[in-house]
Structure 1
Amino acid sequence: MNKRTQALAAAFQFLSRFPVKAQLDYTPDLFRQSTRFYPLVGAAIGAVVWCFAAAVSYLLPPLPAAVLILALWVALTGGLHLDGWMDTADGLLSYKSREQMLEIMKDSRVGAMGVLACVLLLLLKTSLIYSLLTGGWPPLMILLPPIWSRWFMVHAMASWPMARGKEGLAGKNFNGMEKRHSLLAVPGAALLTGIIAALFPWLRIGDFTFLQAGLSWLVLPVAAWAVGTWAARRMTRKLGGLTGDTYGALNEGIETVLLLVLVIIQYRL
């Protein structure tokens, strides 16, 4: 297995629960090289979610369909990013000192703030998926949020310091990420977005018009960068950098914001 294939397998094994059976030597270099394939993992998750959404929305009303779709979405990641969202909420919303926040985030137990943040996030995501389903078949644009949210994780690793230095999973394996790693992930995300754009005129799945679809392809990458940058800067000011938990939190938050943007485009334009 060549290095590129190993990096691809590592990305799928680390970020998803797809059955990728490969014996890999997980070195920091392999972790860093695998980040170029993070958008592809997002696209694979989005594709499975979309196919399931198409089937379940045909059989069920929008609300129970939305709940089942989100359950699958979480299952495909093993709850990895959702765990980061909860730990980050526990730390940042404790309003303690930087050191105490980082210590709280290391605790495997979930606190009240983490539970509240998780419940509210899942409720919002469910309502957004429900809104996208009310027009009938799920729109192809639902594939875009998981692509660009995972690209931003790579961008965040390369752009902001590690809060714990070389400690922790992120510090040991992603410390030393450079801008080139982030740039290597851009062509994949852009190509996948282009493929979705190319499929749209033939498939015309969902109730999005050509104008709405075009705005989605243009606005969602910019929204992912803008919202992610704002959140990453605020986290860095409070924590002195980012951690593995905050990368997961950024992914969850950006996915949700991009779903919100899709709903606004669908209903207001």
Structure 2
Amino acid sequence: MLHKFITALQFLTVFRVKKDSEVNENELARSMAYFPFVGFVIGIILVYADKAFQRLFPDTISNIFLILLSVLITRALHIDGLADSVDGVMGGYDHESRLAIMRDSRIGTAGVLSILFVLLIKYVCLNNLFDEHKTAALLTAPAFSRWAQMLMMFGADYGREDGMGKAFVGHVRLGGLIAASVITVGLSGFVIYQYDVRTATLAAAIPCLVALFTVLWRWFVVRKVGGVTGDSVGAVSEMTEALTLLLFVFLLSER
């Protein structure tokens, strides 16, 4: 269990617990059930970083550093996937040409705009969340976004012949997905309850809407490139993280 968690942590973040971090595809595939737990770890780091930044800067400045930290923790892995995915699905004329665009190391206009749009949503949302509400959002958003990655990959066909995502896409086990779903939703609901954030509404709305968005994004990607890719999995992580923050702001604005 610990080995699988460490494998997931080392793949999804900059942290290296073991010096010898070489793992095979089977080990990577088995670690996927722990992706949401890595999200919670990232959330805990962001909460404490937020408290430290707020001692030095006003909220509008500290939130910039908070977003930068979240990108650095993940080595910009997911945000790179977002840019590549949007460039691909917005360009090309068939599956092969779109996949070629996604593989291109150069970033296009659509990719740049997608990064700016997602980061802007995160920044504006963080500027409108305070105290307990912000803490709850920072803890749960990374977890839900990694849970969305599992949903995206479950039972999916891989869109390429090779690539980083080949070890993951289509290899999520039903038992692992169910266990991760129960724990992710349960822990997030507990966090929301602890911070007195409209428990029933948020706890029910966020996983449902994150799942719905993931299903729609997966359908769109499969239609455009013929399958799920590692880039599209990274993209769904960034977009659902922004969506979770947006839902916190939207649902709490009625209070």
Same fold (TM over 0.5): yes
In the alignment, structure 2 segments of 5+ residues that lack a partner are: none
Deviations 1:16-35 (A, max 9, x none): 11232252452222111101
Q: Percent identity?
A: 26
Partner of 1:89: 86
Q: How big is the alpha-carbon RMSD for the aligned residues of Structure 1 and Structure 2?
A: 2.1
1:260 aligns with 2:255: no
Q: Distance in 2 between matches of 1:153 and 1:19?
A: 21
Question: Is this contact kept in 1: 2:158–2:229, CA < 8 A?
Answer: yes
- In the comparison of the two structures, how many residue pairs are matched? 255
DSSP 3-state at the match of 1:139: helix
Q: CA deviation at 1:162?
A: 1.0
DSSP 3-state at the match of 1:253: helix
Q: Distance in 2 between matches of 1:195 and 1:123?
A: 28
Q: Which of 181, 188, 207 does residue 186 from structure 1 map onto?
A: 181
CA change 1:55–1:27 in 2 (3 A) is same
Deviations 1:145-204 (A, max 9, x none): 11111111112111321111x411112454544433322322331343244246x1xxx4
Q: Distance in 2 between matches of 1:99 and 1:232?
A: 18
Q: Distance in 2 between matches of 1:110 and 1:137?
A: 35
CA change 1:131–1:233 in 2 (3 A) is same
Partner of 1:155: 151
Q: Which of 32, 52, 64 does residue 35 from structure 1 map onto?
A: 32
Partner of 1:60: 57
Q: Distance in 2 between matches of 1:126 and 1:241?
A: 31
Matches within 5 A, 1:1-269: 4-133=1-130, 138-164=134-160, 166-197=161-192, 200=194, 204=195, 210=196, 212-269=198-255
Task: Give the letter for the 2:48 counterpart.
Answer: C
TM superposition score normalised by structure 1: 0.87
Question: Is this contact kept in 1: 2:137–2:244, CA < 8 A?
Answer: no
Higher alpha-carbon deviation: 171-180 or 58-67: 171-180
Task: Give the letter for the 1:33 counterpart.
Answer: R
Question: Is this contact kept in 1: 2:28–2:167, CA < 8 A?
Answer: no
Q: Distance in 1 between matches of 2:151 and 2:230?
A: 13
Question: Is this contact kept in 2: 1:87–1:105, CA < 8 A?
Answer: yes
Partner of 1:207: none
Deviations 1:62-118 (A, max 9, x none): 211111111111111111100000000110111422110001111112122211211
Question: Is this contact kept in 2: 1:36–1:188, CA < 8 A?
Answer: no
DSSP 3-state at the match of 1:138: helix
Question: Is this contact kept in 2: 1:66–1:130, CA < 8 A?
Answer: yes
Q: CA deviation at 1:222?
A: 1.0
Q: CA deviation at 1:15?
A: 0.4
TM superposition score normalised by structure 2: 0.91
Question: Is this contact kept in 1: 2:29–2:167, CA < 8 A?
Answer: no
DSSP 3-state at the match of 1:163: coil
Q: Distance in 2 between matches of 1:141 and 1:71?
A: 17
CA change 1:25–1:73 in 2 (3 A) is closer
Q: CA deviation at 1:137?
A: 7.5
Q: Distance in 2 between matches of 1:184 and 1:22?
A: 29
